[in-house]
């Protein structure tokens, strides 16, 4: 989904609050204008920033995984050199507001020590093992070098942490197209939807998994990771001769793997949706299916899982206490329930030749539909909600009178309600001229892609407002917050408590709103 206007404003606000106004100008220039060279940025940025300062800011944003450098191969026969360009990573910028969620995911799965190591990477962007150990020495609660090393190994094995990508991948000539990038591609893969420039850049920068997740540590070394390149075929090798993922002391540089962290949050959301719409037994079965298929998912935002057998699902299920309480007969009944369709609920699982496939798209679409209908209900009332739900289910143009009959609303009020939703971009309207009739028929339809984009933009706007309000509250009580809590009495203590209550309320609201943003943008 493309970036919206308030999405850009919100991303710029995040960069401003984390890195200052000068860095935000550089980031906004990239978000609005697309890929640019450093000299183009210094010329086009709204404020007067010299070229040297622009380069420093770009290096800072790259360190924190908000910008990616790349270059495009010059045309054949051209003597010109490839110019280094930079692109803003919009999703990664939004992830900066989700660090608490990422930390919680790791804490639940791997424990507090792994969560602490991830926190260091989240706050610093990219670090070597030695830098993580140095950071631990400076902290009040030290973990020790062995615990840091073990935690990092667990994080890499679970794919929560990855080796940094290529600092400057070179893209092939645009005329070649993405289909010709890989030799021996299957015919069905050649005619896939063309990749966007962002996707091409990220794919070119990402090394193969054997290099991206090297989790076998060298024996007798406290600071390096084994990387046996002899096990990687030449056809799959993406690395240049110089190891771009290592620091000056030949240490591997690590960063958080946002793709895997988002995948875990997506899976968690799918289980919650199934639990809400079906029951806890179905949710346990879905959780087991997601565990079985996770390693085979190529992208976080995939539509369907790989096929899996009943045996593999049950084998995974009985690893948990809740799963051991379920018989195989009960699991089969849950799978049958998940595969069933109805007028109001699609199938969450597809059964095919004795195998089962998780339909992520159907599960997420149910939650998106609920969110859309909830917004329509709050904004326009019950009658509009019934009309919107009916049109969503029909998924075609319907005339006004039929909508009134289906939604059980007064025919004289129906056009006004539909017009309100149309003006706000929630409906499509089509006029149908009929011979001999003066007033044309009005037909209405819900365009889910347009509504999703409209709602996403509104959610970015709301999240921006909550962030600005929280910043305002903090700034207005800046002097009070510097005073020790134990020394506050009377009116000052009451003011501090009021600030804390406001801060918790605003943070909680933004946290929940971000869940909805992820539903439409990341899931």
Among left, alpha and beta (phi > 0; psi -120 to 50; other), residue 77 is left
Span 3-18, average pLDDT: 95
Q: Of 412, 446, 480, which one is at a domain's C-terminal end?
A: 446
Round to whole Å and give the CA distance between 102 and 206.
Answer: 21
Each residue's pLDDT tens digit, 377-411:
999 999 999 999 999 988 899 999 999 999 888 88
Q: Where are the alpha helices (DSSP H) in 34-144?
A: 38-44, 51-63, 90-95, 99-110, 112-124, 129-138
| 479 occurs within a structural domain | yes
**How, if at all, do strands 253-256 and 170-171 pair?**
unpaired
The domain of 330 spans 261-358
Residues 16 and 147 in one domain: no
Asked if pLDDT for residue 246 goes beyond 60, the answer is: no
Each residue's pLDDT tens digit, 495-506:
999 999 999 999
| 372 occurs within a structural domain | no
Which pLDDT band holds residue 233 (cuts at 50, 70, 90)? Answer: very low
CATH number at residue 430: 1.10.10.10
Asked if pLDDT for residue 242 goes beyond 60, the answer is: no
Round to whole Å and give the CA distance between 13 and 478.
Answer: 20
Which pLDDT score, from 0 to 100, does residue 354 have?
87
| 19 occurs within a structural domain | yes
Which pLDDT score, from 0 to 100, does residue 298 have?
84
Which pLDDT band holds residue 219 (cuts at 50, 70, 90)? Answer: very low
Each residue's pLDDT tens digit, 122-165:
999 999 999 999 999 988 888 999 999 999 999 999 999 999 99
The DSSP H or E segment spanning 464 is helix 448-476
Asked if pLDDT for residue 223 goes beyond 90, the answer is: no
Spatial CB neighbours of 479, under 8 Å, sequence gap ≥ 6: none
Mean pLDDT computed over every residue of the chain: 86
| Cα Rg of the chain, angstroms | 26
Which pLDDT band holds residue 439 (cuts at 50, 70, 90)? Answer: low
Burial class of residue 477 (count of CB atoms within 10 Å of its CB; 0-12, 13-18, 19+)? middle
Domains: count for the chain: 5
Residue 80 or residue 126, greater confidence: 126
Burial class of residue 388 (count of CB atoms within 10 Å of its CB; 0-12, 13-18, 19+)? buried
Residues 60 and 194 in one domain: yes
**Cα–Cα distances in Å, from 511 out to 38, 377, 415, 467, 485?**
35, 22, 37, 11, 26
Residues 74 and 5 in one domain: yes
Residues 349 and 395 in one domain: no
Span 60-64, average pLDDT: 97
Round to whole Å and give the CA distance between 202 and 86.
Answer: 12
Which pLDDT score, from 0 to 100, does residue 484 have?
86
Q: Which residue is it, tokens 């990771």?
A: 225
pTM as predicted:
0.85
| 332 occurs within a structural domain | yes
Residues 197 and 224 in one domain: no
Q: What are phi and psi of 237, to 5 degrees?
A: -70, 130
Spatial CB neighbours of 44, under 8 Å, sequence gap ≥ 6: 29, 33, 36
Nearest to 252 by CA among 157, 180, 163: 163
Which pLDDT score, from 0 to 100, does residue 216 have?
46
Where is mean pLDDT largest: 11-20, 334-343, 388-397, 479-488?
11-20
Residues 147 and 214 in one domain: yes
Burial track 30-69 (b if 16+ CB lie within 10 A, e otherwise): bbeeebbebebbbeebeeebeeeebbebbebbbebbbbbb
Residues 86 and 179 in one domain: yes
Each residue's pLDDT tens digit, 201-211:
999 999 988 88
Residues 344 and 403 in one domain: no
Residues 196 and 213 in one domain: no
Which two three-digit tokens encode residue 110?
């791997």
3-state SS track over 2-20: CCCHHHHHHHHHHHHHHHC
Residues 280 and 339 in one domain: yes
Round to whole Å and give the CA distance between 57 and 29.
Answer: 13
Which pLDDT band holds residue 437 (cuts at 50, 70, 90)? Answer: low
Percent over 70 (pLDDT), the chain: 86
Span 213-241, average pLDDT: 42
């Amino acid at each position: 989904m493309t970036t919206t206007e308030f999405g850009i404003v919100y991303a710029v606000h995040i960069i401003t609050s984390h890195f200052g106004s000068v860095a935000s100008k550089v980031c906004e220039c990239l978000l609005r204008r697309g890929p640019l060279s450093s000299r183009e940025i210094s010329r086009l940025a709204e404020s007067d920033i010299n070229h040297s300062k622009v380069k420093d800011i770009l290096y800072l944003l790259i360190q924190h995984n908000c910008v990616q450098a790349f270059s495009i191969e010059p045309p054949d026969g051209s003597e010109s050199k490839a110019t280094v360009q930079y692109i803003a990573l919009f999703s990664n910028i939004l992830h900066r507001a989700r660090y608490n969620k990422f930390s919680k995911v790791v804490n639940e799965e791997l424990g507090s020590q792994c969560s602490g190591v991830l926190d260091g990477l989240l706050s610093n962007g990219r670090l070597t093992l030695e830098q993580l150990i140095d950071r631990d020495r400076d902290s009040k609660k030290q973990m020790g070098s062995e615990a840091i090393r073990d935690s990092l190994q667990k994080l890499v094995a679970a794919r929560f942490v990855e080796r940094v990508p290529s600092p400057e991948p070179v893209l092939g000539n645009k005329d070649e197209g993405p289909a010709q990038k890989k030799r021996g591609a299957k015919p069905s893969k050649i005619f896939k939807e063309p990749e966007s420039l962002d996707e091409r850049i990220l794919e070119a920068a990402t090394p193969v998994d054997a290099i991206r997740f090297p989790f076998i540590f060298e024996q007798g070394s406290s600071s390096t990771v084994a990387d046996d390149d002899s096990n990687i075929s030449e056809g799959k090798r993406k690395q240049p001769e110089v190891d771009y993922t290592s620091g000056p002391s030949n240490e591997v540089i690590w960063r958080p793997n946002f793709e895997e962290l988002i995948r875990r949050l997506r899976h968690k959301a799918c289980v919650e949706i199934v639990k809400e719409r079906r029951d806890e037994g179905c949710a346990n079965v879905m959780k087991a299916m997601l565990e079985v298929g996770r390693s085979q998912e190529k992208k976080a935002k995939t539509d369907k899982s790989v096929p899996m057998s009943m045996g593999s699902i049950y084998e995974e299920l009985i690893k948990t206490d809740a799963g051991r309480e379920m018989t195989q007969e009960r699991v089969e009944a849950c799978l049958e329930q998940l595969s069933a369709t109805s007028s109001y609920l699609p199938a969450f699982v597809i059964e095919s030749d004795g195998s089962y496939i998780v339909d992520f798209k159907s599960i997420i679409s149910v939650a998106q539909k609920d969110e859309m209908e909830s917004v329509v209900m709050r904004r326009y009332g019950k009658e509009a909600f019934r009309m919107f739900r009916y049109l969503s289910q029909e998924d075609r143009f319907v005339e006004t009178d039929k909508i009134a009959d289906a939604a059980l609303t007064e025919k004289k009020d129906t056009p006004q309600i539909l017009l309100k939703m149309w003006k706000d971009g929630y409906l499509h309207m089509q006029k149908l001229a009929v011979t001999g009739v003066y007033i044309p028929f009005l037909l209405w339809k819900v365009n889910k892609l347009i509504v999703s984009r409209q709602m996403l933009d509104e959610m970015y706007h709301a999240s921006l407002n909550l962030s600005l309000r929280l910043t305002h509250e903090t700034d207005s009580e800046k002097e009070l917050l510097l005073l020790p809590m134990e020394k506050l009495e009377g009116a000052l203590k009451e003011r501090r408590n009021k600030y804390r209550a406001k801060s918790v309320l605003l943070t909680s609201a933004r946290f929940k709103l971000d869940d909805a943003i992820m539903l439409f943008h990341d899931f």
